[in-house]
Amino acid sequence: MPKHGEQFLHQKDSKLHTTEPIENTQARLKSKEEKTSQKPADKIEAHLTRLKDILNPESLEKHQDFDRKERNINMLKKNLYKDVIIKQEDIPESYYENQRRLAREQGYGDIELTNEMKSQLTEVIITDQETTLDGWVDYLSSPDSKSFPMWAKYWAFNGMLKLSSYDKERKAFAKRRKDTVAPFADLNREALAYVVDAIVKKANKEDVPEQIDNPDFQKLLQGANFGKLYSYAIEKVTPTEESELTSTKGEWVKYDQDSDHMPLVESLQGHGTGWCTAGESTAQSQLQGGDFHVYYSYGKDDKKGKPTIPRAAIRMEQGKIAEIRGVAEQQNVDSCISPVVQEKLTEFPDGKEYEKKTEDMKKLTEIERKTEKNQKLTKPDLIFLYEIDSPIEGFGYQTDPRIQELRDKRNSKEDALIVFECSPEQIAWNREEVNENTKAYIGPLYTNIFKELSHLEHTYTEFPEGRIKRYEIEIGGKTVEELEKELQEKEFKISDYAQEMMKSPDFTTSKKPEQANLVRLKVKDLGFESGATLEQIYAKAEELGLELCPPEVGPHLRLELGDQPEGEYFCVSTKQISGSGGRPLVFDLNRGAGGRWLDARWADPGLRWYPGDEIVFRSSK
């Protein structure tokens, strides 16, 4: 078959086939005595095939439930972090100077940024870059983008890595450099689908559709610069006017599975939904998977005709709801149209699965309106807003931005008094303020804090993000075989690495049951704002009066946490147990799309852990 895409990449970069990653692929093929070629397009194709296998690996024999894809993507992200995320030493002094200028302009006077303050700013920069990079990796490795050829994903992703912030006045992206502090470009799925559709047609030497057949775009296509094409697409798919979003009158339209995809595409393009379905190939692929429901409301020019403003979409796959998207930020369902979506969900057998999301969005909208009217928030309102009992869930790919916007308008110290039902003197903000009347502690950790404050229900390093979670579980009294059997009976997944740990001579269980008081901490809770090695983490925990957990805590705690939220993961501190190949391991408890896992994580003493990584310790007896 013609290698149009690979030839396109070679034309864009004549030295691409000689780069280290592609040469490594060639070496890998030779080591397996597989056929190789020195033709540039063939070498590029071989590398893209390997990338595709990494992103979509086959299931392990006898371990069909083990999510290799999730593990591969996590490893890919970590490698990308090393290569493209800014290093602390590369942050320019001009950035800090700008922070000082902004502080002065905001009335803070001439401030001096300490090393600690710089470290905090650095963490924000790095986290924002990692988060925006994750968004691209997650989308391009998801079923939503399966219609994009691998070479087009490669071209788009590498083009995105060269982009910094978007200048709306210039309608162009700034170039990314080694010292760029800005996050990566926002992922606009509609604009990306628009660009990929066009570039695929160009590479395949197909006719350009009429809707993009204009001199300006044709010129951009000839250059095939991703940044310029993406900028053009972002400006073309302009969002609906704000006034039109207040109208909810309209109707649902169902696009049947395997029907012509173009009516759906044409109804979405130009409305700035951000949905990837606006791309022809994506819409066609999605309609092959199931029906597609779109709610259209009336726009200013629709009064005498049919509604044309897309507001919400329900995509089906194999007879079930695959996703729900809106046109608010991050594809959340906007507050005006949320009741319409909720009513529609009652028509679907699996609509109840979305009940919490719709209820959470309704509650968040109520709090938003109260805030706009300067009405007082109740204790239940604040418990919800600060996610004390459970995380707020919405329909977007990311957290609803209103949560942080509403929190930023409030005084968290005053709100803490309401949430904890106490007076100001009953909250201690450091060790010196702790007394017999203390009901809550919000401050830095100190030696023996967990013994001294074991009676407190509320312990935080900061409110509300730094909540210290505790578990009281019973360990012992079960053999390794009994633990493994119980995990399987309760449908927990055990990875190969975790099984190796449980079969190791270093994994022991006590015959007599005993109580284990556990404390779950983030690395930054221990004072490591920029991360730390496991050796440093363990040493600091010991200073605080904590100790490593017996190995059996891993499976016992896994059994205890049956309702672990999806997307959560944390490790259990133990003396490292050697797995196959001699790599030291500790237990990892996580819940992903594949289920609830007892997994393992590499735990070399010198391996650096991120500030947000979480580890469970045992409170000293």
Residue by residue, DSSP assigns 452-519 as HTTT-SEEESSTTTTBPEEEEEEE-S--HHHHHHHHHHTT-EE-HHHHHHHTSTT----SS-EEEEEE
Largest CA distance in the chain: 79
CA angle 333, 277, 293 (to 5 degrees): 60
Q: Which of 91, 87, 76, 238 is nearest to 157 (CA)?
A: 76
Contact (CB, 8 A) for 200 and 152:
yes
CA–CA separation, 32 and 17 (whole Å): 20
Evaluate whether 51 touches 17 at the Cβ level (below 8 Å). Answer: no
Instruction: Answer whether 185's CB lies under 8 Å from 230's CB.
Output: yes
> Does the structure show a pLDDT above 50 at 62?
yes
* Amino acid identity at 138: D
Angle at 543 between CA 538 and CA 545, to 5 degrees: 95
Mean pLDDT computed over 546-559: 96
Number of other CB atoms surrounding residue 560 within 10 Å: 17
Name the more confident of 88 and 109: 88
Q: Is the pLDDT of residue 301 over 80?
A: no
> How far is the first Cα of the chain from the last one, in angstroms, to the nearest whole number?
68
Q: Are 135 and 398 in contact (CB under 8 A)?
A: yes
Mean pLDDT of 486-510: 93
Identify whether the C-beta of residue 324 lies closer than 8 Å to the C-beta of residue 275: no
Could you tell me how far CA 202 lies from the centroid of its own chain? 33
Q: What is the mean pLDDT of residues 189-205?
A: 87
Q: What is the pLDDT of residue 426?
A: 94
Question: Nearest Cα to 245, choosing from 336, 361, 308, 338?
Answer: 336
Task: Tell me how far apart the alpha carbons of residues 452 and 434 are, in angstroms, rounded to a whole number.
Answer: 9
Is 60 in a helix, a strand, or coil? strand
H/E element, 86? none
Interatomic CA distance for residues 529 and 120, integer angstroms: 7
Report phi then psi at 618, rounded to 5: -105, 135
Cα–Cα distance measured from residue 176 to residue 99, given in angstroms and rounded to the nearest whole number: 20
Q: How far apart are CA 224 and CA 139, in angstroms?
A: 22
Q: CB neighbours of 275 closer than 8 A, spacing ≥ 6?
A: 189, 190, 268, 310, 313, 325, 331
DSSP for 258-316?
TS-SHHHHHHHTTS----GGGSHHHHHHHHHHS-EEEEEE--TT-TTS---EEEEEEEE
At residue 210 the predicted structure's pLDDT band, cuts being 50, 70 and 90, is: very low
In the beta sheet, which residues pair with residue 63? 60
Q: Nearest 5°: CA angle at 38, between 32 and 40? A: 120
What fold characterizes domain 468-619?
A: Mannose-Binding Protein A; Chain A (3.10.100)
Mean pLDDT of 463-490: 93
Instruction: Pick 303 or 380 by higher pLDDT.
Output: 380
302 has a pLDDT exceeding 50: yes
Q: State the residue for tokens 């502090």.
A: 181
pLDDT value for 211: 47
pLDDT digits (tens, 9 = 90+) for 257-287: 999 988 998 888 667 676 878 767 678 888 9
Quick: pLDDT tens for 563-617: 787 778 999 999 999 987 788 999 999 987 577 899 999 998 888 999 999 999 9
CB atoms near residue 260 (< 10 Å): 12
Percent of the chain past pLDDT 90, that is, above it, reads: 47
Task: Measure the CA–CA gap between 249 and 312, rounded to whole angstroms.
Answer: 13
| Domain residue extents for the chain | 56-236, 242-365, 468-619
C-alpha span between 109 and 102 (Å, rounded): 10
Q: Which 8-state DSSP code applies to residue 576? A: -
Q: In the prediction, which pLDDT does 9 show?
A: 87
Q: What is the pLDDT of residues 215-230, one digit of tens each?
A: 788 888 888 999 999 9
Coil, helix or strand at residue 569? strand
Mean pLDDT of 74-82: 91
**What pLDDT, in 10s, does the model give residues 378-393?**
999 999 999 998 888 7
CB of 32 closer than 8 Å to CB of 53: no
